[in-house]
Amino acid sequence: MTTVQKIKEIEDEMNRTQKNKATSYHLGQLKAKLAKLRRELISPTGGGGGGGGLGFDVARTGIATVGFVGFPSVGKSTLMSKLTGTHSEASEIDFTTLTTVPGTLKVHGAPIQVLDLPGIIEGAKDGRGRGRQVIAVARTCHLIFIVLDVLKPLGDKKLIETELEGFGIRLNKKPPNITVRKKDKGGIAITNTVPLTNIDQDEIKAVLSEYKISNADVAIRQAGVTADDLVDVIEGNRVYIPAIYVLNKIDAISIEELDLLYKIPMSVPISSREWMNVDELIEKMWETLNLVRVYTKPRGLAPDYSAPVVLRRGKCSVDDFCNSIHKEIAKQMKYAVVWGASAKHTRGQKVGLDHILEDEDVVHIAKK
C-alpha cells in the first residue's frame, strides 16, 4: 500500500468512528498515525520530495513575501500583474502559470514581494500536479492570499485549506499553548490551567503512546485545544501563517450575492480585472503583515519620513534597526533616542539596543 492509500484508509476509519468516551483513545491513536504518514509525504525523503524544484526557487526580496494560492484560472496572475506591474501571463486556459513569478509592490514605503504561483488541484499535497512544489513555496511566505472565484468560493475554500493543512501549514492560527516535556521516568503527568473541553486524558495518552512517549509532563494552558493541536506540537514542523481570502471576479455577481460573501472572515471581495476594491485588499495586506516602520532622525534635523526602515514584528529591536541599516552601526552606538508609541514620554526616551520599537517610531542613534 502506498502512503497515500494508507492515509485514505485512516481517514475513512476516522469518518466511520463516532467520537465518544469509549472511542477517544482509538481516535487519538488514529490522529497521531495520520500525522506520521503525512510527515512521510511532505519530507523530502518520503515519496518524491516536497521541496523547491525547478523554477520554484526565487530570490527573496523586500521585507515580506506574499504567495498566491488557488485553483487554476481564479485570476491570480491578473491580480499579480496589476498589483506589481510585472507581467505574468493570464488566460482563460487552466494552468497558464507553470512556475513562480515574482514581483514587488510598495505599501506605505515598505517593499513587499508577491509570488504568483501555478494553480493547484485537489490532491496537490499528495503529489498531484505541481501542487506540492506550490505548497512548499507557500510554506515559506509571510502571508498567503487564498484566491477564490466568487462563483464557487466556499467549496474551493475548504479544499484549498485541506491541501495546505495536509502540508503542515496552519492558517490564521497561533501555535497551540501546549508543552510536552519528555522525562526519563515517572509516567505521563498532565496539568491543565484551563478545563479540557475538546480533548480528554485518554486521547492525550493515546497520542503520546503512538509517539512512543511514555514519560512526559504535558501542560495545557489554552482552552479548546484538540488532539490535532497536541499532534502539531509533537510533530513540531508546523508553520503558522496568516491568510487572506481574496474573493475575485465580483464584477460577475450581484450586490445581494456579494453581501453573503462579506461574511467569510479574513476575506476581501475584489475584481482584479476591473480593479474593484483592490485598495481595500492592499490595506488588509498591510494590516495583516503587521510590519514596523521606523523613521531615522539625524542629529539636529527633522526625521526622514520618506524612507522608513521596515522591520518585522518580533525582530524590531533597536539592534535589528541598526543591523538593517549597516552591520557596524550597533557597535558604534552609544545610545538611541526614541519618539513614538514605544517611548515612555513624548519628549523622547533614551534607550539601548534591546529596546523594542513600534510602528512609526522615530529613532536617533547617538554614536560613541
Ligand X SMILES: Nc1nc2c(ncn2[C@@H]2O[C@H](COP(=O)(O)OP(=O)(O)OP(=O)(O)O)[C@@H](O)[C@H]2O)c(=O)[nH]1
Q: Between 231 and 270, how does the x/- string for binding to ligand X read (CB under 6 A)?
A: -----------------xx-xx------------------
Q: Identify residue 153 by its one-letter amino acid code.
A: P
Which of ligand X, Mg ion, K ion, none is residue 74 near (CB under 5 to 8 Å by kind)?
Answer: ligand X
Report the alpha-carbon distance of residue 115 to residue 65 in Å, rounded: 7
| Angle ∠(19,24,27) on CA atoms, nearest 5 | 85
3-state secondary structure of 66: strand
Report the alpha-carbon distance of residue 32 to residue 235 in Å, rounded: 9
Q: Which of 3, 23, 86, 96 binds K ion (CB under 5 A)?
A: 96
* DSSP symbol at 326: -
Report the alpha-carbon distance of residue 144 to residue 317 in Å, rounded: 26
Footprint on residues 96-125 left by ligand X (CB under 6 A): 96-97, 118-119
Contacts of 91 (CB under 8 A, 6+ apart): none
Q: Which of 24, 29, 73, 271 binds K ion (CB under 5 A)?
A: 73
Question: Using the rule CB under 6 A, is 151 a contact of ligand X?
Answer: no
Which of Mg ion, K ion, ligand X, none is residue 342 near (CB under 5 to 8 Å by kind)?
Answer: none
Report the alpha-carbon distance of residue 137 to residue 53 in Å, rounded: 10
CA-to-CA separations, 315 to 192, 198, 320, 329, 340, in angstroms, rounded: 31, 34, 6, 17, 18
Report the alpha-carbon distance of residue 138 to residue 23 in Å, rounded: 36
Which of K ion, ligand X, Mg ion, none is residue 75 near (CB under 5 to 8 Å by kind)?
Answer: ligand X
CB 163 within 8 A of CB 121: no
Question: Using the rule CB under 6 A, is 272 a contact of ligand X?
Answer: yes
In this structure, is the dihedral angle defined by the CA atoms of residues 109, 102, 46 and 36, taken in order, positive or negative? positive
Footprint on residues 81-110 left by Mg ion (CB under 5 A): 96-97
Q: How many residues bind K ion (CB under 5 A)?
A: 2
Shortest Å, Cβ 314 to Mg ion: 32
Shortest Å, Cβ 158 to K ion: 22
> Based on CB atoms, which residue is closest to K ion, 42 or 117?
117
Q: Which of 24, 29, 65, 77 binds Mg ion (CB under 5 A)?
A: 77
Contacts of 349 (CB under 8 A, 6+ apart): 337, 338, 339, 343
Q: Which three cell numbers stand for residue 125?
A: 499535497
Which of Mg ion, ligand X, K ion, none is residue 129 near (CB under 5 to 8 Å by kind)?
Answer: none
Q: Which of 92, 184, 256, 354 binds ligand X (CB under 6 A)?
A: 92
CB 75 within 8 A of CB 248: yes
3-state secondary structure of 20: coil
Question: Using the rule CB under 5 A, is 78 a contact of Mg ion?
Answer: no
Question: Using the rule CB under 6 A, is 78 a contact of ligand X?
Answer: yes
The residue sitting closest to K ion, measured at its beta carbon, is: 96
CB 175 within 8 A of CB 231: no
Shortest Å, Cβ 140 to ligand X: 20
Question: Using the rule CB under 5 A, is 29 a contact of Mg ion?
Answer: no
**Phi, psi torsion values for 175, nearest 5 degrees:** -55, 135
> Based on CB atoms, which residue is closest to ligand X, 6 or 273?
273
Question: Using the rule CB under 6 A, is 130 a contact of ligand X?
Answer: no
Shortest Å, Cβ 52 to ligand X: 19
| Residue for grid cell 495586506 | 285
Residues that bind Mg ion (CB under 5 A): 76-77, 96-97
Residues that bind ligand X (CB under 6 A): 70, 72-78, 90-92, 94-97, 118-119, 248-249, 251-252, 271-274
Write out the residues near K ion by the rule CB under 5 A: 73, 96
